[in-house]
Structure 1
Amino acid sequence: MASRSTAPEKRPGFFAQLRSLFTFTKAEFSWLGWALIGIVVLGVAIGLLIGFLIPPVAVWSVILWALTGLMFGILGAMVLLTRLSTRAMYKKLDGMPGASGHVLSTSLGRNWVASDMPVGVNPKTQDAVYRVIGRGGVVLVAEGSRGRLTRLVNDEKMKVQRVASGVPIQVIYVGHGEGDVPISKLSSTIKSLPKKVDRTTMAAVVKRVDSVSQSVTSLPIPKGVDPMRARAPRPR
Structure 2
Amino acid sequence: MAARSTAPEKRPGFFSQIRTLFTFTREAYRWLPFALAGIVLLGIAAGVGVGFVIPPIALWSIILWGVTGLMAGVLGSLMLMTRLSTSAMYRKIDGMPGAAGHVLSSSLGRNWQASDMPVGINPKTQEAVYRAVGRGGVVIVGEGARGRLTRLVNDERAKVQRVASGVPVTVLYVGHGDDEVPISKLAPTIKSIKKTIDRGTMAAVIKRIDSVSQSLTSLPIPKGIDPTKARAPRPR
Deviations 1:141-163 (A, max 9, x none): 11011100000000001111111
| Counterpart position of 1:212 | 212
| Counterpart position of 1:80 | 80
| Counterpart position of 1:137 | 137
Question: What is the rounded CA distance, in whole Å, between the counterparts of 2:230 and 2:162 in structure 1?
Answer: 37
Q: Report SS of the residue matched to 1:87.
A: helix
Q: Are residue 33 (structure 1) and residue 36 (structure 2) matched?
A: no
Question: What is the rounded CA distance, in whole Å, between the counterparts of 2:107 and 2:174 in structure 1?
Answer: 15
Contact 1:136 1:195 in 2 (8 A): yes
Deviations 1:188-220 (A, max 9, x none): 000000011111111110000000110112112
Query: How many aligned positions are there?
Result: 236
Shift of 1:10: 0.7
User: TM-score, normalised to structure 2's length?
Assistant: 0.97
| Counterpart position of 2:65 | 65
Deviations 1:119-170 (A, max 9, x none): 0000111100000001100000110111000000000011111110010100
Question: What is the rounded CA distance, in whole Å, between the counterparts of 1:134 and 1:9 in structure 2?
Answer: 34
Question: What is the rounded CA distance, in whole Å, between the counterparts of 2:101 and 2:180 in structure 1?
Answer: 16
Contact 1:117 1:217 in 2 (8 A): no
Shift of 1:174: 0.4
Cα root mean square deviation, aligned:
1.2
Contact 1:164 1:205 in 2 (8 A): yes
| Counterpart position of 1:192 | 192
Structure 2, unpaired ranges of 5+: none
Deviates more, 1:47-56 or 1:205-214: 47-56
Question: What is the rounded CA distance, in whole Å, between the counterparts of 2:225 and 2:88 in structure 1?
Answer: 16
Q: Report SS of the residue matched to 2:70.
A: helix
User: TM-score, normalised to structure 1's length?
Assistant: 0.97
Shift of 1:6: 2.2
Contact 1:97 1:227 in 2 (8 A): no
Q: Report SS of the residue matched to 1:42.
A: helix
Shift of 1:227: 4.1
Shift of 1:55: 2.3
| Counterpart position of 1:6 | 6
Q: Are residue 121 (structure 1) and residue 121 (structure 2) matched?
A: yes
Q: Report SS of the residue matched to 1:170.
A: strand
Q: Which runs of 4+ in 1 moved over 3 A?
A: none
Shift of 1:22: 0.2
Question: What is the rounded CA distance, in whole Å, between the counterparts of 2:215 and 2:69 in structure 1?
Answer: 55
Shift of 1:112: 0.5
Identity of aligned residues (%): 73
Contact 1:96 1:227 in 2 (8 A): no
Shift of 1:233: 1.0
Q: Report SS of the residue matched to 1:131.
A: strand
Contact 2:117 2:221 in 1 (8 A): no
Question: What is the rounded CA distance, in whole Å, between the counterparts of 2:96 and 2:215 in structure 1?
Answer: 22
Question: What is the rounded CA distance, in whole Å, between the counterparts of 2:223 and 2:47 in structure 1?
Answer: 53
CA 228–62 in structure 1, closer or farther in 2 if over 3 Å, else same: same
Contact 2:93 2:225 in 1 (8 A): no
Contact 2:99 2:225 in 1 (8 A): no
Shift of 1:3: 5.0
